[in-house]
Amino acid sequence: MDAKIPKTLLDLAIQSLLRNESIAIQALEDMPRVFFVPLFIAAFEGGHKNILSEMVKVWPYYCLHIGSLTVQEPQHELLKAMIENLPAMKVEVVYSRYNGIVFLIQPSFFTSFLLFSPYRVLPPGLNFLYLTFCDLSHRDFRFLAQSPQVSRLKLLNLSNNPMYWDDFEPFQTLLVNLSGTLRHLEMNHCLINDTAISVLIPALIRCTQLRVLCFASNPITMPMLVTIMNNLTPLKNLKYVIYPIPVHCYGLWPFQGSLDRRKLAIVQLHLKVMLVLAERPDMNWITYLE
């Protein structure tokens, strides 16, 4: 049997700090940077929530990377406490559903957090929320619709999350909740069809502060695109719309090789005329080819 590896002086010092929580917290302000990572690991593995909460407030590095520290259900409260104590508007939080890694990056002008069952946690006072490629579930959308932490969002990006019929009711509720603050909304590549977008239109037209709307690469028909424009042109603050190429422009949607550029040119001309008739020369409707 291998001999037990003796503890180093650093290990002993960290264990001593963890046994006396108040001293550990007081020592954080003057603690050498070299102590932060091993102390954080030991505090996380030992479940020292108060110490972790204070550590994230004074974290001295550009990035806090939790890789091998797998976040299981018992660590849910630890993760929640850490996020709730992040300095407001100074940290970006990204949680990967796939590999259990958390990054805290300073400084930053937005906060993003990936929701995933069962650990739906968001820091308070969010202004910007990026949830791209997150495989959001109906429960995630329902959580967002009910979460006071996102009630003041200015930017919401849900792109590259397939949306299904049950998702649109809570998504509509979320948009209504954000109608007074939301300025930038992205929902590209979400498989939103005519029926789904028609459900969202009543909520979208209530978003009077909206300046940018992106919903490219969704299977929308030309009649629905016309309906969307007719409903959105009265929004005087809305200046930029990134719209999907209508499905009739493709031989087989969404393969770019089957795109009929002549049909697309007719669509673009049609929308341009509509903007003129709506007296919205300040409004830009743009699409892009991938």
- CATH number of domain containing 164: 3.80.10.10
pLDDT digits (tens, 9 = 90+) for 189-216: 999 999 999 999 999 999 999 999 999 9
What pLDDT does 106 receive? 65
Say what the pLDDT of residue 229 is: 97
Q: Note whether residue 182 is domain-resident.
A: yes
Residues 131 and 37 in one domain: no
pLDDT at 113: 40
pLDDT at residue 199, rounded to an integer: 94
Q: Which structural domain range is residue 67 located in?
A: 1-89
The per-residue pLDDT for 127 is 82
Decide if 102 is inside a domain: no
Predicted local confidence at residue 91, as pLDDT:
44
260 lies in the same domain as 142:
yes
Helix (H) / strand (E) containing 95: strand 92-95
**Which of 32, 61, 89 is the endpoint of a domain?**
89
> Which residues of the chain carry a pLDDT beneath 70?
1-6, 62-76, 83-84, 86-124, 290
- Cβ atoms within 10 Å, residue 43: 23
Residues 132, 269 share a domain: yes
Instruction: Among 73, 89, 105, identify where a domain stops.
Output: 89
Residue linked to tokens 């009630």: 151
User: Is residue 119 domain-resident?
Assistant: no
Count of domains in the chain? 2
pLDDT at 78: 73
**Are residues 162 and 251 located together in one domain of the fold?**
yes
Q: What is the pTM of this model?
A: 0.68
Please tell me whether residues 163 and 256 are part of one structural domain.
yes
β-bridge mates for residue 284, sequence order: 240
What pLDDT score does 137 carry? 84
Determine the residue type at 140: D
CB atoms within 10 A of CB 33: 9
Distance CA 272, CA 215 (A): 18
**Predicted pLDDT of residue 117:** 38
